[in-house]
Structure 1
Amino acid sequence: MSPPGRRYGYVGPPELRQAVVAGTEGQVIRRAADLDAWTAAAGQDGEETFTFVVGPDGLLRLAPRRSEHVACAGGGEVLGAGEVTLRRTGGGWRADQVSNQSTGYCPDPDSWPAVAAALDRAGIARPRGVHARAGVPPLRALSGEQRGPRGRLRLRVLRRGSSRGMEPRRVSFLGSSP
């Protein structure tokens, strides 16, 4: 049985999808040890930003930052996609920033529960604001900096459309501060 959530098909340039080579999708991260081994083999340490997708199986897949999301996904559908900045801490891995910026898949904010579940499953602490449940506040309420009971939440909302009917298209969670 596959995880619940909307599936996003690739909507980017066809030549990028055609260039995907079978078997070269992003590194599957099932647990923190997978991330440790992969980053060590690549000579990465500390903090790094990656391209990510959440596959239809609900698993997190990572690739180097400037990789195409469609290549990371092996050309298939995803439950979420974007960029994630991961940092190794004394207690394990932490996602400091997560975005849904993928022009190939254009996931909307409804993808956050799938992203949160994939991070949780992999044992990667997620930033406050990346929710594992539906019902995230309306985007217009999240635009800019908002002060909540636990500090400031910094978000960037990119909009598309006329000034009257502007629709949020991408939301970047930029982190929180006390």
Structure 2
Amino acid sequence: MRDARSYAYEGPPEIRARVRPGLDGGVPIGSAADACRWLEGRDRDERDEPFTYVVDLGGTLLLAPRRSEHVACAGGAPVLAAGEITFDGGAAVVAVTNQSTGYRPDPSCWPAVAAALDRAGLRRPGGFTDAFAFRRCAECGQLNLVKDAFPGCAVCDADLPDPPGEGGPDA
């Protein structure tokens, strides 16, 4: 993971301020058995939803309940990847995304996710089941999650910058 890009938290400072380093953090998943034990500890309704995940700088998958903030799951630290993950009830991942507005991971973080899942012995898809792009509006400064290839700001409707490598600056 030495060459992997890391992502610092860029979300609201008041959310980061609530994180208690050393006390908050997701559950490290080092094996399929770890994942199964953690899933068994969730209530039935919760198991049907995606969970919050991050891949820490050491390449370990950390899990937390869905409504947890990614920065809390990471204990406030930078990550290699972050998003939402859904299991089949056991040791198979059926959906995984890079949807984290706090860390804004690029879809190119998939190799870090794949490596963490492989290391834990979890069956997985061949890539993100849904990959998202994040762009900051140059007009109003709002962070936008780009969905359905809509290139406009959700707040002021201004055009969003092109992604890196496609003729525009990285926002």
TM-score normalised over the length of structure 1: 0.69
**CA RMSD of superposed structures (Å):** 2.7
2-structure distance, mates of 1:33, 1:159: 42
**Structure 1 pair 33/158, CA: closer, same or farther in 2 (3 Å)?**
farther
The alpha carbon displacement at 1:63 in A equals 0.6
| Counterpart residue number, 1:120 | 118
Change (3 A) 1:159 1:64: farther
- Per-residue CA distance 1:55-89 (angstroms, 9 max, x = gap): 0010000111111000000000000000011113x
The alpha carbon displacement at 1:124 in A equals: 1.3
1:113-149 C-alpha deviation (Å, 9 max, x unpaired)? 001111111111111234xxxxxxxx9xxxxxxxxxx
Whether the 8 Å CA contact 1:48–1:87 is kept in 2: the answer is no
**Residue ranges of structure 2 left out of the alignment (5+ in a row):** 134-146, 165-171
Aligned residue pairs total 142
Q: Structure 1 residues 32, 47: closer, same or farther in 2, change over 3 A? A: farther
**Aligned position for 1:25:** 25
Quick check: 2:152–2:160 contact (8 Å CA) kept in 1? no
TM-score, length-scaled by structure 2: 0.72
Give the alignment of 1:100-119 within 5 angstroms: 100-119=98-117
* CA pair 33-65 structure 1, distance change in 2 beyond 3 A: same
Percentage of matched positions with identical amino acids: 49
Equivalence for 1:65? 66
Alpha-carbon distance change, 75 to 31 in structure 1, aligned in 2, over 3 angstroms = same
